[in-house]
Amino acid sequence: MHKERIYRGIPASQGISIGRAYVYTRRQININTMALKDGEVEAEVEAINNSIEISLKELNKIHAISIEKIGEKNSKIFEAQIEILKDKIFLDGVIKRIKKEKKSAGFVFNDEIEKLAAIFQKSKNDYIKERYTDLIDVRNRVIRNMKREKLVSKVDENSIIFAHELTPADTILFSRRKVMGYATDTGGVTSHAAIISRALRVPAVVGMKTISKFVTSGDCVIVDGTEGVVIVNPVQETVQIYEEKIKSIKYHDELLFEIANKPCKTEDGKSVEITANIEFVEETEFIKNCGIGLYRTEHLYMEKGDFPSSAEQIQEYTAISAATYPKSVTIRTFDVGGDKILQDYRKEDNPYLGWRGIRISLDRVEMFKEQLKALLISSVKKNIKIMLPMISSVDEVRKARTILSEVKTGLDKEGISYDKKIPFGIMLEVPSAFVLSEELAEEADFFSIGTNDLIQYILAVDRGNELISGMFQQFHPAVIRALRKIIDGGHSKGIKVSLCGEMASVPLAVPVLIGLEVDELSVLPSVFSEIKQTIRAMRLSDAKALVAKILKMPTESEIRNEVEKFYELKIKPKIL
């Protein structure tokens, strides 16, 4: 009997799989460093030309499979690899060096690729670093084909792949073998293997350091791509726990299909909109007929290592608008800083209270204008809303509106069409914002409450600090009263109030939020059906009575007990 072992990494693609491990080891590439003899140079040039031709055929085939499985947008990495092998200047340089230096084609090609890769590896940005793997994949493919070695892409069907690293091609080719999950030593959420895993809806955990050394093919394993956990040789009790989790996920998927077109109303007729929080366009495939309440744009910065151009942003925003239409999508302007390191990062003693969110946008006006311009140009379907993060004062909203007006004027002069009445809202996530909720409501078209930061700031609790994480309390009386003030402040000026923090995705919290009369809940896609079902199982009048009672309570424990009792008596019997 093997002992159960638990490993943790970076959650890269949601879902859970239980199965048998297959440890994939890529064949090592050996490069000939010996000098060529006089009669060998032309043969070496011919060898690399033939290898390039074969490699291009392989990549074109993989690209076609990728488009079929995950769509054209998610398959662009293969276009980039193909372009490298079509780059005449690059390839001519390789051949000139072979002839001049009389070095093997593998040696010269590797050296030229390494020069490009070194630039990527030196970057402090994770996304750019991960492009190193994409270049090395091109190198390995070309050198393998020069040696006429076969591509090994077959793995056991229905297995969970463990590897030091996986290339985008590996991930696509393995998908034909009904692979159930991935776990890798390297990589991050922005690696192309991770992006492809999400598009394929295959659970993945990455950045696990040495997991591939501690697993043997055939081991029973569990991969939890939601929590970033891998369990090797789980005991029966653990297997049963995860089997129940898988059943729950399947149940909610089936439930979502059943209730997708049913109205999201309480039993006594109160309509509540449910939307989804997402970060990547491929995630829209998981949620059909659903609006997006929070689309985060900072991944564009993380991927590029700098603020993306207007053209790059237009491509992204147009795609998410089209994928969501006719439902709306609320796109948040760059919320970098804090835990998202900037390229020109300067150490701050407390980055969460530092240069982040709207503060960066208002300091980098040209960058902010580029993003607003891209959002406006992408708004022709009139289903895009713009949202500003980290608002702490009325002045910030007014300055942002002035900049928006300037961008609109510029587009008008160019004769470029856009949504003239595009909604311009704000996130309320700092204490000053809820204190000024009525004044801010006069400046904004809508509110969205970010409870993650709001709770952290109100309670002065760093939820990432294990010593005090238990003090991060969603039902703290100060939090409930702050939500009351924000929602009332927005409604007093006739604007809609949504909530996009984690609290919206907690079924137990839903009766409180409905009782506070929030207009929209933007939730994690994985709990969408459960939250909708919870709303349909309650009465607004009961939820309002619950809120009236808990607003008078002085402690978190009293509030939680009352909410739990309400959920058990009023809701749970109707949804089981």
* Cα within 13 Å of Cα(514), Cβ side: 35
Q: Match 């997006």 to its residue by tokens.
A: 292
Output the six-digit token pair for 495: 């604007």
| Residues designated catalytic | 192, 500
Reply yes or no on domain 262-541 having CATH 3.20.20.60.
yes
Q: What is the DSSP letter of 469?
A: G
Q: How many helices (H) and strands (E) does the chain have?
A: 22, 16
Domain boundary assignment for the chain: 5-26+152-246, 38-146, 262-541
CATH topology of domain 5-26+152-246: Glucose Oxidase; domain 1 (3.50.30)
The 3-class SS string of 328-354 reads: CEEEECCCCECCECCCCCCCCCCHHHC
Output the six-digit token pair for 574: 């109707």
In words, the CATH class of domain 38-146 is mainly alpha
pLDDT at 135: 84
Answer whether 280's CB lies under 8 Å from 554's CB. no
pLDDT at 163: 92
Print pLDDT tens along the chain (576 aa).
578 999 999 888 888 999 999 999 877 777 877 888 878 899 999 999 999 999 998 898 888 878 777 767 677 778 888 888 999 999 999 999 999 999 999 999 999 998 888 877 776 665 666 667 778 889 989 998 888 766 555 678 889 999 998 888 888 888 877 899 999 998 877 677 787 888 778 899 998 999 999 999 999 999 999 889 999 999 999 999 999 999 888 876 777 667 767 889 999 999 999 998 876 665 666 566 688 999 988 877 765 557 788 888 998 899 899 989 999 999 999 987 655 545 455 567 777 788 888 999 999 999 999 999 999 999 999 999 999 999 999 999 999 999 999 999 999 999 999 999 999 999 999 999 999 999 999 999 999 999 989 999 999 988 667 678 788 899 999 999 999 999 999 999 999 999 998 899 889 999 999 999 999 999 877 678 889 989 999 999 999 999 999 999 999 999 999 999 999 999 988 875
